Amino acid sequence: CVHVCNEGTSSVNFTMELVDASPSQTLSIYKNVIIPGKGYLTVDTLHLYLAKGDILQVKAETAAKLSVALSFDEHYDPNTTSII
């Protein structure tokens, strides 16, 4: 689940992208979405499968501030090992 909140009083455009490390490509999820002042967007139908090195980026327009919260489930694969 992704929550994006505009804490300011003016509308803000934002973009959300997934940087997929494996094939080294950027996938646009949302582009130029407007969130009104003191508004929020909750997305609970977005199913992303992130692997090691993948990055989820949320970018606001110039000088705008957004709060972003993510909730997710981690699925353990005993056949995969990594050192943190």
Cβ–Cβ < 8 Å for 71, 1: yes
The pLDDT value recorded for residue 62 is 75
43 vs 65: CA distance, rounded Å = 19
What is the chain's mean pLDDT, rounded? 88
What's the pLDDT band for 41 if we cut at 50, 70, 90? very high
Q: Which 8-state DSSP code applies to residue 45?
A: S
Position 51 pLDDT exceeds 90: no
pLDDT in tens, 59-72: 998 778 899 999 98
